[in-house]
Amino acid sequence: MQTLLDQTYLLDMMSRLLATHSPSGMTDEIVHIVCLELMALDIPFSLTRRGAIRADLEGARHSPDRAIVSHLDTLGAMVKQLKPNGRLEVVPIGTWSARFAEGARVTIYCDGGWRYRGTLLPCKASGHTFNEEVDTQSISWLNLELRVDERCNRPEDLQALGINVGDTIAIDSQLEISNSGFINARHLDDKAGVAVLLAVARAVRHCGLRLPVDCHLLFTISEEVGVGASHILHGDVAELVSIDNGTIAPGQNTCEYGVTIAMQDSSGPFDWHLTRHLLGLCKTYGIEHSRDVFRYYRSDAAAALEAGNDIRTALTCFALDASHGYERTHVDSLLALGELLLAYIQSRPLFQRDAQPLGPMGDFPAPGT
């Protein structure tokens, strides 16, 4: 199948997003970047008070409309304490292991626009000093500290720089793209997904694709702290497809070079009919794919349902090794995800009765369908 996706655009956009710090709670800059890109694509959009984005691709009909969601926020950290040795105690923003924080290069964002660089290190970092204790100390955020690249030997030195408890710490992405198509970086979850969604939007615009119903492109700003798509939907949306990562690990069935359809995550099963519809599109268009179940994570779709939205939900995934750590995906997986999303937004809505939250039986699915 000949692709309508521009791979160069996708990778360039992903690189721009990864170069922009956006830990949960500090997403204004990346919101501006995505808004400017939507303006360049001539796609109308609106913002919530805090900056979640809803862009609108108009279809032949306005209802029952659908939405695709990805998230702009990433993991990060925050200053917990100014330590007596002139370093910083930190706590995580989002859920990630201190194991993957060790050695990270970071930027500290302070009040008044001041920014400082530094490194997250174990409290016992030097083998020349601590010998085997470097290996035997437990892996914990309590055993990490942030070494600031300024002359700081006591808390007063940090205070003089304007560093305070509660300052946000952004983690460098350290992007590397290999000639073999592998992409290594922090924060591919979910900036690779955002780039795919923008590439899909660009294909719709540049190729003049006609959509059967309205499709809303949602970019949320607090998925990593559990809020996600809880405030960006409106009552007319009948189907919501979330973009997130499928984990490469023993016991998982994620397709490393294709797209993965999640059947269930930690919040429960996804909609039977919507997931089977996506699987059918993969088979129809020859898109490499797999099915998987995830025990320990959830997506924007869960937040949408928990906020009281009566919608059909599904989760589509690009492959990701070492999620919430030093992550790796492959360009073929991103393209497969994009192809599925393009096929989906051009497909007919599942059920016409879904245009109304309450109504007669109509075309409600019969048992066994």
Q: 152 with 118: CB under 8 angstroms?
A: no
Angle at 204 between CA 200 and CA 205, to 5 degrees: 120
Identify whether 223 is a catalytic site residue: yes
Catalytic residue among 37, 223, 239, 339: 223
The bridge status of strand 115-122 relative to strand 176-177 is unpaired
CA 74 to chain centre: 7
Q: 196 with 217: CB under 8 angstroms?
A: no
Q: State both tokens at 194.
A: 């955002």
Helices 7-18 & 188-207 angle (0-180, nearest 10): 140
Beta partners for residue 309, in sequence order: none
CA 14 to chain centre: 12
The bridge status of strand 61-71 relative to strand 213-220 is parallel
The SS3 call for residue 16 is helix
- Amino acid identity at 209: L
3-state helix, strand, coil in the chain (%, to 5): 30, 30, 40
The bridge status of strand 268-269 relative to strand 61-71 is unpaired
Residues carrying an active site annotation: 223
